Amino acid sequence: MTKEVNLIDALKRYFGFDKFKGDQEAIIRNVLDGNDTFVLMPTGGGKSLCYQLPSLIMPGTAIVISPLIALMKNQVDVINGMSEGDGVAHYLNSSLNKSAVEQVKSDIRAGKTKLLYVAPESLTKEDNVEFLKTVKISFYAVDEAHCISEWGHDFRPEYRRIRPIISQIGNAPVIALTATATDKVRTDIKRSLGIADAHEFKSSFNRPNLYYEVRPKTKDVDKQIIMFIKQHPGKSGIIYCLARKKVEELAEILKANDIKAAAYHAGLDSSTRSKTQDDFLMENIDVIVATIAFGMGIDKPDVRFVIHYDIPKSLEGYYQETGRVGRDGGEGKCIAFYAKKDLKKLEKFMEGKPVAEQDIGRQLLQETAAYAESSVCRRKMLLHYFGEEYEQDNCGNCDNCKHPKTKIDGKDALLIILKAVAAVKENFRQEYIVDFVKGRGTDDIVSHKHDQLDEFGAGADMDNKLWNPVIRQALLAGYLRKDVENYGLLKLTASGKRYIKSQEPFMIVMDNEFTDDYVDDSNEAGGTSALDPELFSILKDLRKKTAHKHQLPPYVIFQDVSLEQMATMYPVTQEELTNVQGVGIGKAKRYGKEFLKVIKEYCEEKQIVPPEELRVRTVAKKSMLKVSIIQSIDRKMALDDLADAKGLDFSDLLDEIEAIVYSGTKLNIDYFIEDVVDDDKVDDIYDYFMESETDDLNEALDELGDDYSEDEIRLVRIKFLSENAN
């Protein structure tokens, strides 16, 4: 039965393929031989075939436990479409009525059905358990097996009940399949399913055709996304957002800008979700804006881009979602937008959960932050996370490799870190080690009496921004390892211990810097997003001269993001200039003339024809909110009352007011500032922004100190920009 000629013959007969991919054949033989099997295979590697083909060959019915109803229907249709008779594949879930369930059971009894898909919830129903006890089970396949692990990115408690139910129905070999799992998750899956001795098949996680990029999440993220899609016309893509509200809002904005898009989330009714998925597969729509409810097992080989509007909760989630792009081996672009405040929001969502769950969640978030902020090859970071080493220093297909930063020797810093880890007996996490080497006497450090150790504060005189990249790159280089089982404690490896005795140069790159708000001149994440770097550089020089002439900081004249768009859209008239993010009519009149002249001369010299004007149309609701805020401020309504009236957090209201001011509209909020901020503080903050090279909020908080709250700084920044920039 399992001779090679027969397997190839069966593959050709059932699926029309002439040869297997990767480990498929070895996996199928293992299943046919009755062994428990664990399959770790990235999306697009052909996991489904590993249980579909043996189910068609073996006597009895294979039970496939899968979490998504839409995916079951899709796969059942595919199998039945390849078979001569009906009923070779069925699914059993909550979407079926009573007579449909009876038809499924009848086909199974008659021996027609080789493959039965069930949701874990359906598997545990008593009448289904009793029925399946009477059926000859060839094997159990647990698809998306990472759902079983609390360390997986999509943990589902009902998956924990699979093993007891299997034992109840009747034992048969188990094949567990997942597209993404760290060593920790892999161990957890095998233990939970009772297949500790399973033969393990692990494919490489490297997807060389995928391009990875992380961009700072600025106020113009919607516009950046629209520009990106317009630059890739007719190509299929998925945009992931964390909140359903944002999914719907962004889908509307895309549609308003003539992009064929639709929203998809679990709050929509099943017929709408099915239609949207079918429309995407049939190419009636190009872009799906979705929560993570969309895409698990989506069988569309030519998705060309995946955009993360919000950074995901874990690197596993990120890898799984980016895995839906370029499955045919063709071009695939993975763009993620990152702001530190998004991580803070995700941490806030964890409040109220059990302490152990919060701890796991925070560790996963730290790994995501490390990936986003690091200037190291993104492919190297991802593969290392999944326990695979990528030997090359430059993959040539991620933003960090295309725009490499200058390396510096971190030998002294590495030695300080390694000695610190040893001094605290390898019993603490990264944040603790960083505080320790910086000489910060936190309550935790003092309570452990570690402030009395010789190594405490050994790096106090060095750049504070050095420590995280040194630790992250020491992990990559194998001098340190993280004990994931034990709260992510840092441990020395044998190489790390040798390094303490005998050092050699340790070349590192500093992290990319991300702010919570707008991009400043120092931000180099992935290089500029301007399409014409030469023009961008020319415009930056002009901005500097203009700022000097007006005795203002450069960011007051035009933000980086405005210059990037000028170097992308080549505006040559005042009207075109007002379509650029952050440029209202006032700014265009005040500063625009010289910039337009330079752009026009540049276009003539380079014989550039400016692209068709990109006018991003917003959806009415958002525009109406801005108009209403402006009118309320004109009436001198207290901003905290205004936030309540609009159902916004005060911080979110300030976001909206900042967006209004940054786009060039003048607002006078002096009446409110006078009530809530001391005059001396207003003067200090105002003077700070007049002298500063950046409007970055974090830098302002660091520079001004603890006496000034974030809200106070933001309010005065609005006043400053309104009076000087607009």
Residue with tokens 């003067």: 683
Query: Of how many residues is the chain composed?
Result: 726
Domains (range + CATH), the chain: 7-202 (3.40.50.300), 210-402 (3.40.50.300), 407-509 (1.10.10.10), 533-548+562-606 (no CATH), 620-725 (1.10.10.1390)
Structure token digits, residue 130: 């009793």
Cross-strand bridge partners of residue 90: 116
Which pLDDT score, from 0 to 100, does residue 565 have? 82
Structure token digits, residue 579: 């379509």
CA 386 – CA 398 distance, rounded (Å): 18
Structure token digits, residue 353: 């959960």
pTM: 0.66
Burial class (CB in 10 A: 0-12, 13-18, 19+), 282: exposed
What residues contact 703, with CB distance under 8 A and at least 6 apart? 688, 692
CA 662 – CA 458 distance, rounded (Å): 43
Interaxial angle between packed helices 69-82 and 270-281, expressed in degrees from 0 to 180 and rounded to the nearest 10: 50
Interaxial angle between packed helices 315-322 and 378-385, expressed in degrees from 0 to 180 and rounded to the nearest 10: 110
| Amino acid in position 534 | E
Which pLDDT score, from 0 to 100, does residue 530 have? 53
Which pLDDT score, from 0 to 100, does residue 525 have? 34
Cross-strand bridge partners of residue 261: 287
Over the chain (726 residues), what is each successive 10-residue block's mean pLDDT?
64 83 91 92 80 92 82 75 79 81 88 89 85 91 80 66 88 88 81 89 89 88 88 91 89 89 88 87 92 67 93 87 88 92 81 79 88 93 88 90 90 94 93 93 92 92 91 92 80 94 91 59 38 84 90 85 83 84 79 91 80 56 75 90 86 88 84 91 91 85 88 93 80
Which pLDDT score, from 0 to 100, does residue 205 have? 85
CA 315 – CA 313 distance, rounded (Å): 7
Structure token digits, residue 508: 């590192």
